Amino acid sequence: MSSLSVSESVDRLQVQGHLQYDTPDHITPSNLHPSPLEQFHIWFNDARNANVREPDAMSLSTATASGIPSSRMVLFKQLDKRGFVFYTNYTSRKSRELEENPQAALLFFWREMSRQVRVLGTVEKLSKEENEEYFKSRPVGTQLGAWASKQSSVVGEDVLASRLAKFVEQFGVQTSDKDGDVPLPDFWGGWRVIPREVEFWLGKPSRLHDRVRYLRVAGSPEDQPRWIVDRLSP
């Protein structure tokens, strides 16, 4: 049963109260790693070891060229020396918005640990070689799904199943197959978010949360950035 107190009327839903965070540890600029990418690596492994459900789930926010925002949950797939990687259809709404406005925000929320990580940065597409390598590692069913779905477009009731059947026949594989030769679609691949700001958040009582922000030093190399690290007010 939720701990929320909710009052409802014909024209209003009002929420009062919330779970009080009570984490025993604290974070400060002095006890986190100098690199936010290394610190993310530490926290991500902490989340895995704490059996957080779907620690790889993250909110991705994009915006049109005129600034209209949209958000959705996607799966984090890789952290490298440049940034955070996810994969999608290059004709989807998120990709169209990233083409128009190559800025993105990511948010990880690990509820079981009362931790958040927020990332802001510019984006770049992955190379075809990187896309090929990852696509080949995916289950056959999801490889076929990438071909079948015209992501973010309006679709009729039976169209998706018909398109899937078409590619099952074309490539001579089944969604349940463990191996198969399904090529990489030219409209599918990865995006990398190159961070210029990363914030680590730890829930504390009375909403006096711990917040530590990393800002990339302007002009520092993207593959070896320097960072200014500050504590923020909750």
**Whole domain around residue 114: which residue ranges?**
5-127+191-231
Beta partners for residue 227, in sequence order: 216
Structure tokens of 41? 């690596």
Calpha distance 210→27 (Å, rounded): 6
CA distances for 74 relative to 13, 54, 141, 146, angstroms: 29, 11, 18, 15
pTM of the model: 0.91
Catalytic residue, candidates 48, 111, 207, 226: 207
Q: What is the pLDDT of residue 2?
A: 58
**pLDDT, averaged across the chain:** 93
- Range name among 1-15, 67-81, 212-226 with the lowest pLDDT average: 1-15
78 within domain boundaries:
yes
Calpha distance 199→23 (Å, rounded): 18
Burial class (CB in 10 A: 0-12, 13-18, 19+), 201: buried
CATH number assigned to the domain comprising residue 14 = 2.30.110.10
The pLDDT tens digits of the residues spanning 50-94 come to: 999 999 999 999 999 999 999 999 999 999 999 999 999 999 999
Whether the predicted pLDDT of 1 surpasses 80: no
Calpha distance 151→131 (Å, rounded): 18
100 within domain boundaries:
yes
Q: 180 falls in which pLDDT band (50, 70, 90)?
A: confident
CA distances for 163 relative to 79, 88, 154, 169, 222, angstroms: 33, 18, 14, 10, 41
Structure tokens of 127? 């190379």
DSSP string for residues in 4-42: -EEEEETTEEEEE--PPP--S----TTTS-SSHHHHHHH
26 within domain boundaries:
yes
Task: Quote the number of domains for the chain.
Answer: 1
Neighbours of 132 (CB within 10 A): 14
Q: Which amino acid is at 211?
A: R
141 within domain boundaries:
no
Say which residue, 61 or 223, is predicted with more confidence.
Answer: 61
Q: Is 207 a catalytic residue?
A: yes
139 within domain boundaries:
no
34 within domain boundaries:
yes
